[in-house]
Amino acid sequence: MRHPSLMTLLAAALCTASLAPVLYAAQPAFDEQKLAQACDGLLAAPLAAGHLQTLAAAARDSAVEQPLRSRAMAAYGLALLLQGQTNGFASAARALAAAYPDAQPLLRVTADQAYAICDTCKGDAVQGALCPTCMGSGACKSCSGTGKRGTGVCTACKGNKLCPRCLGKKRVLTACPTCLGSTKVFKPAPEILHNYSNLLADVSGIVRENATFRERLAAANSETDTDRRIAAFQGLLQTFSHRADLGPAVDLMEKAVLNRDRRESERLAQEARVRERREQEALLALRDSPDIDAALATLDAYLAAHPQASATAELRALRDELAARRLRAARLRTALHIALGLGGLLLAALAVKALIPARRPRPSGPLPGLDKIDKRQFTDPLTLTAAESRTRVKTHTAQIPPDAG
Ligand SMILES: [Zn+2]
Ligand SMILES: [Zn+2]
Ligand SMILES: [Zn+2]
C-alpha cells in the first residue's frame, strides 16, 4: 500500500487553509457518503488500505467542510502512527495545526505513545548471554586455560588464562535483540486506537447529520405555505443550532417572516378599508333617518373620530344638508305654533262671547224723572262765566244767582 505523501498533504493544507471558510457553506463537491463508508470500514479494519486512501483524499480536499476535513486529517495521521510512521504522524499534526489552528484537541495522543519500553531488556538495551568465545567456560580458548602457548606466554590471554572476551565471567552483554538496543519497541497505546476510532465515528456522524440537515433545509425551502415554511425553518434552526453553516437558513427564514408580516398587514388594511366603507354607507343612509338630531349626533361623532376618513367630504355635505333640514323644520314648527296659538285665542274669544248672554236693548226715552224737573231751574254750565261758576261753588247751588256779576 502506498499512502499519499505527507508533504503533499501538508502543502495542500497550507495552500487551502485560507480558502476553506469561503467554501465551507457550499454544497459538498466531495462524496461525503463514500467518506462515511470508508470510516465505517476503518472502524472494523483500522488499517484497510482502500479506506485509508479515501480518508487521505478527504484530508487533502479543500472542498470538504472543516469539521470533516480536520477530522480526516487527524485520523489519517493516527493511522500512520498506528503503523509506526512517527514522522508521518508529526507531518499530519503540523498540517492540521496549519489548516485549522483550533482543531488541535482532535489529536489527544503523542508519537511517544506508539512505543513502549522493551520487555526483553526492560529498557537496558542489552542482555546477558553465554560468552560465544568460551562458550560459557570462562577459560581462554587459545591456551585452553593454561596461560601458555608452546614455550611462551599465551598471547590471547596474556597468560592470565581467562577468556579475553568475557574476562572469565562466562557471560557477555549484547544488544537487545528485541529492541536492537533502542530500549523501546513499537507498541501503540490503546489511546491511539481509541482516538482514531472516535474520529472515524465522528466523521460518519457528521456526514449523516449533513445529509439530514440538507434534506430538511431543502424540504423547508420547498414549502410554499408561509406559516408552514417559517415553522419548518424554525424547527431546522432549533435542531441544528450547533452548526456553523446556518446563515442561509436564517436568511431564508427571515425572508419568510417578512413576507408573512407584509401579507398580514395588507390583509388588516383591506379589512379596515371594508369596515370603513361599511360604516360610511351606514352613515350615508342616515339621510333618510326620521330622527335628524340623532343622525347629526352620530355624524358629528364619526367625523370627530375619523377626520381623515376617505368619505369625509361626502359625510360633511350630508351633515350640512341635515342641519339645514333641521333648521327649516324648526322654523316651520315655530310658525305653526304661532298660528295654532292665534287660532286658539280666536276660538277662546268666540267661546267666551257665546257664553255671555246678550243684553236686551233699553227702551229709548227721557231719563226717568227728567220729565218732571223744572227746566228753568237748570242752567247750562257752558253758558256760565268764570265768576258765576265760582259763586255756584260757594253757595252749593245749581242756581245761578240772578245778580251774579
Ligand atoms: Zn530490548
Ligand atoms: Zn569467554
Ligand atoms: Zn590463553
Give the sign of the dihedral formed by CA 29, CA 32, CA 33, CA 38: positive
CA geometry: angle 199, 201, 207, nearest 5 deg: 100
- For 22-67, the pLDDT digits (tens) are 333 445 568 999 999 999 999 999 999 999 999 999 999 988 989 9
Give the sign of the dihedral formed by CA 111, CA 113, CA 119, CA 123: positive
Helix (H) or strand (E) holding 149: strand 148-149
The ligand minimizing its distance to the Cα of 147 is 3
Q: Would the pTM count as exceeding 0.75? A: no
Mean pLDDT of 287-302: 90
Confidence of residue 401 (pLDDT cuts 50, 70, 90): low
Checking if the pLDDT of 214 tops 70, the result is: yes
| % of the chain exceeding 70 in pLDDT | 88
Would you report the helix, strand and coil content of the chain in percent, each value rounded to 5? 60, 5, 35
166 touches 131 (CB < 8 A): yes
CA-CA distances (angstroms) from residue 313 to 101, 355, 370? 74, 63, 91
- How far is ligand 3, taken at its centre, from the CA of residue 127, in Å? 26
- How far is ligand 3, taken at its centre, from the CA of residue 135, in Å? 15
Q: List, in order, residues 6 or more apart from 181 with CB less than 8 Å away.
A: 125, 126, 175
The ligand minimizing its distance to the Cα of 141 is 3
Mean pLDDT of 345-365: 82
- How far is ligand 2, taken at its centre, from the CA of residue 159, in Å? 15
Q: In whole angstroms, what is the distance from residue 73 CA to residue 55 CA?
A: 8
- How far is ligand 3, taken at its centre, from the CA of residue 163, in Å? 7
- How far is ligand 3, taken at its centre, from the CA of residue 134, in Å? 11
First to last CA, the chain: 189
- How far is ligand 1, taken at its centre, from the CA of residue 246, in Å? 56
Where in the chain are the domains?
A: 6-112+190-215, 223-281, 289-340, 374-405
